[in-house]
Amino acid sequence: MAKFEKVQVTEVMAEGFKGFQEKTVMVLEEGKNTFIGDNGKGKSSVGELIVWILTGKNMIGKQKDLNIINKDSTTAVGSISFMDEDGETHEVERKLSSTTTLKFDHKRITQKQLEELISTDLFLLIFNPMYFLSLDMDSSRNAIYSLLPGVEKEDILAELNAQERAFLEGEHFELKDTNDYLKNRRKELKEIEDKKKHLQGYMAKLGEKIDIPAPLAFDDKKIEVVEKQLEALNQRKPELKNLSELLMKKSELDKLITEVKGTRFESEKVKLELLNQKSLLEQQIKTEMAKEYKPMDTSKLETDIAVLRNDYKSVATQHKVLEQEGQALDKKQIHFHEGDQCPSCKQTITAQAVSVLNGELKKQVNETKAVIHEKQEGFKKTLSDLEIEGKSLLAQITKAKNEDELHRKKFEEQKKANIASFQTQLDKVNFKLNNLNKEEERFVNEQKAKISVLQRQIDSLELNKLEKENAQIQKAFDEEVRKERATLQGTLSTLRKEKESVVKSETSRLALVKRAEENAKELEKKKVELANYDKKEVLINNQISYMKIFNAQKIVIMNRTLSTHLNHISLKLEKTVQSTGEIKDCFEVLYMDKELKICSTSETIKAGLEISHMIRELSGLDYPVFVDNGESITSYEDTASQTIETKVVKDKKLSILKNGKEKEVVAIPKAKIKITTVDNDEEIVEEMAN
C-alpha cells in the first residue's frame, strides 16, 4: 500500500491513556476543532494521544519514558479513524501493557509497516509546529533540505549572464563538488604563486652581471728548452776505470770457491743413517725403562671373601641366639597348681585341669625346643658351607698372588735384558760415529785450505780499492748532476706553475663566458615560463570568481524556493564563505527579522505554524495541525485542511467547539461487549450501547 498523502482525523478513542481512565471517544471534523477546558483537563493529551497512536512516540519524537498509562489502569489503548486522499476511512489502534500491540484496519502490523504508510518525522513536523523548533540544527536543516526540489546545474547557469554562463559551461564540475572545485583552484593558485616567486628570484639571479677578465697566454717553448736540458743531463755518464777483466777473473775464482764449498763428505749418508740408528736406540731404551709391571687384580676375590665373612658373622649370631633361647627353655620350669588363674581364659584352674595343663605346657616346650634344634642344625650346615667356601676363596687368592709374583720377576728380567741389548747396539753405533767424525774433520780442514788459497788470489786483484776509487768518481759526478738537475727542475716547476695558473685563469674566464651565454638563454626561457604562469593565474582567478558567483546564485535559488512558502519567516540552509566563496551549511531562522530565542510565545507558535505550512507544501502531504496553548495567540493564519487547537478556559471541563457549538467530552458508560472473530483469528471488540 502506498504512503497516505492525506490524513483527516474523524474519530479518536482513548482508554487508560493519561487522564482518560474510562473509554472516551472524540469525533473531529474538517476545518478547525477547538478543545477548551481548565488546566489539567486533558486538552494537550488529545494531541499527545494522536501522536502516540500513529508514531509510538511523544510530541517531540521521544520513545523512552513515555509514562502514558493512567495511574489506575494497567493498559493504555488508543485508536484513530481517519479519511485518506481517496475518501476511504481507515483505523489505527495501539495498545500498551507489558507489550505493545499495533493494528491497522483491524490487522496486526509493525511500526515499520505503519511508517511506510505515514512517515513519523513528516507527521510530527506538520502536526506539531513546535517539533521542528525542538530539533538540533543538523536535524532541522536536513528535514527541510530533504524536501526541497532538486536544483540542477543547468538551472543555476541559466540565471547567470552570458559571459559567466559561457565560461562555466566550459568547466568540468559536478554540482555537489563546487567546494572541492574552489579548494583545488586555490591550491593551484597557491602553487603558481609559489612557483612565480621562486622563478622571479631565479630570474633575478640569472640577470646579475658577470665580470669577465681579459684573456691570458703562455709560451710552451720555455718549458721545451728546459725539458731538453734535463734529457741531456740524464744521458751524461761519468769517466770510471774499466774493471771488466778483473771482474771476469774474480768471477772465475768465485766459481772455483763455490765448487770447493759444494763438495760433500763422501761418508755423510752413512753418518746420517748411524745418527738415525742412534736416535732410535736411545728412544727404545727410554721406552723400555719407562715400562712398569701391572699386577694381577684380586679385588673381586677379596670383595667376595669380605661378603662371605659378613654372612658367616650374621649366621653365627643367629645360631647363638637360638642356643640362648634353648637354654632359657631348659631353665624354665612352669607348673600349674590348683587355684591358679589360666593365662589364656583367665578362669580358676581346678584340680582335674592341673595335670592336663601341665601336660600341654610340657608338650609346647618340647615342640619349641624341636623347632629351635631344627633351626640350629640348619645354621650349623650354613656355617660349615661358608667355612668351606671361605677356605676355597683364600686358596684362590694365595695362588693368584704367587702367580703374580712369578710374572713380575719374569717381567723385570725381560726388561733388564732388553735394555742391555739396546745399550750394546748403541755402543757399537757410537763407536762408528766417532770414527766418521774424525774423517769428516780432516775433510773440512782440507776444504778450508783450498778456499783460503783461492781467496788470496781474489784479494791480489785489488778490486775493492779500484771499486772505491770508482765510487768516489761516481759520487762526485752524481753530486754535480744533482745540483744541475735541481736547478733545472726548479725552473721547470716554476714554468709549469706559471702555465697552470694561466690555463686555470683562462678556463675560469671561458667558463664565465659560457655561463653568461647560458644565463642569457635561460633568462629568455624563464620569461616565457613566467608569462605562462601569469596567464594561468588569470585563468584560475577567473575560475574562482565565476564559481563564487555560481555558488551564490545556487543559494539565491534555494532561498527563493523557501521564501515562496514562507511569509514572516526568513530561513537559510546554506551560505557562502566570503573569503573563499565556498558553500557552508547553516541554519538561520528569523521571525520578522528576530531570532526565535527572543520571540514571544505567540510569535514562536506562529513561526512553527508557518514552518508546518511550508513542510506541507514541500512534501505535498495533507496532515492535521495541532495548536497547543491557542489562548496565547489572538489570531493566526490557519492554512491546514484540519486544525486541532487547545485553549485554556477557567473552571471549564474538557469540551470541544465545532461550528460555534460546545460539547463536553465525556467517557462512554461501560456496556456489553461483543467479540467477533475475523481473519487470522484476530478479534474485533465492539461495545454495544445500552
User: What pLDDT, in 10s, does the model give residues 385-410?
Assistant: 888 988 888 888 888 888 888 998 99
- Judge whether 568 lies within some domain: no
- pLDDT digits 0-9 by tens, 547-567: 999 999 999 999 999 999 999
- pLDDT tier, 688 (very low <50, low <70, confident <90, very high otherwise): very low
8 vs 674: which has the higher pLDDT: 8
Mean pLDDT, the chain, rounded, equals 88
Residues 622, 83: Cα–Cα separation, whole Å: 11
Is pLDDT of 676 > 70?
Answer: no
Q: Predicted confidence band at 493 (pLDDT cuts at 50, 70, 90)?
A: very high
pLDDT exceeds cutoff 90 at 85:
yes
Give the mean model confidence (pLDDT) for residues 430-437: 88
Q: Is 186 within 8 Å of 492 (Cβ atoms)? A: no
Position with higher pLDDT, 1 vs 129: 129
The CA angle 66-40-130, to the nearest 5 degrees, is 55
| 482 in any annotated domain | no
Q: What is the pLDDT of residue 20?
A: 95
| Model pLDDT, residue 689 | 40
pLDDT of residue 378: 87
Residue 262 vs residue 128, higher pLDDT = 128
Q: Which of 418, 436, 454 is the last residue of a domain?
A: 436
Instruction: Work out the percent of the chain whose per-residue pLDDT is above 70.
Output: 96
Contacts of range 132-136, beta carbons closer than 8 Å, 24 or more positions apart: 132/608, 132/611, 132/612, 132/615, 133/596, 133/604, 133/607, 133/608, 133/611, 134/60
Residue 644 lies in a domain: yes
Q: Considering the domain boundaries, does residue 480 fall inside one? A: no
Flag whether 522 is in a domain: no
Boundaries of domain holding 37 = 8-149+599-688
pLDDT digits (tens, 9 = 90+) for 577-620: 988 999 998 889 999 999 988 999 899 999 999 999 999 999 99
Q: What is the predicted pLDDT for the residue at 19?
A: 93
Q: Summarize pLDDT for 292-336 with one digit per residue, the tens.
A: 888 888 788 888 888 888 988 888 898 888 888 888 877 765 666
The strand pairing partners of 590, in sequence order, are: 570, 595
pLDDT digits 0-9 by tens, 125-152: 999 999 998 899 899 989 998 999 888 9
* Residue 333 confidence (pLDDT): 54
pLDDT tens digits for 168-189?
999 999 999 999 999 999 999 9
* pLDDT at site 332: 66
Residue 532: band (very low, low, confident or very high) from pLDDT cuts 50, 70, 90:
very high
pLDDT of residue 605: 92
Unique residue bearing C-alpha cell 665580470: 211
Q: Are 481 and 237 in contact (CB under 8 A)?
A: no
Of 413, 436, 459, the residue at which a domain comes to its end is 436
Q: Predicted confidence band at 671 (pLDDT cuts at 50, 70, 90)?
A: low
Q: Residue 488: is its pLDDT beyond 80?
A: yes
How is residue 584 written as a grid cell? 557552508
CA gap 548, 583 in Å, rounded:
9
Cα–Cα distance for residue pair 154/175, rounded to 1 Å: 10
- 3 state DSSP class of 227: helix
Give pLDDT, residue 501.
92
**Average confidence (pLDDT) over 487-498:** 92
Q: How many domains does the chain have?
A: 2
Rounded Cα distance between 81 and 77, Å, is 14
Per-residue pLDDT for 361 more than 80? no
Which residue type, as a one-letter code, is found at position 374? Answer: E
C-alpha cell at 314: 650374621
677: pLDDT strictly greater than 80: no
- Domain termination residue (choose one: 366, 401, 436): 436
Place of cell 495533507: 622
Q: What integer pLDDT is reported at residue 425 of this predicted model?
A: 92
Q: List the grid coordinates of 117.
A: 504508510
- The contacts of residue 135 (CB under 8 Å, 6+ apart) are 143
CB 297 within 8 A of CB 396: no
Q: What is the CATH number of the domain that holds 48?
A: 3.40.50.300
Residue 266 covered by a domain = no
If 0-12 CB within 10 Å is exposed, 13-18 middle and 19+ buried, where does residue 528 land?
A: exposed
Name the least confident of 35-39, 204-208, 389-393: 389-393
551: three-class secondary structure by DSSP: helix
- CB 537, CB 196: distance < 8 Å: yes
Note whether residue 188 is domain-resident: no
pLDDT, position 670: 66
| CA atoms of 563 and 652, how far apart (whole Å) | 41
Domain assignment present for residue 82? The answer is yes
* Residues contacting 164, CB < 8 A, separation 6+: 546, 549, 550
DSSP three-state, residue 491: helix
pLDDT in tens, 621-660: 999 999 998 888 888 888 899 999 999 999 999 999 987 7
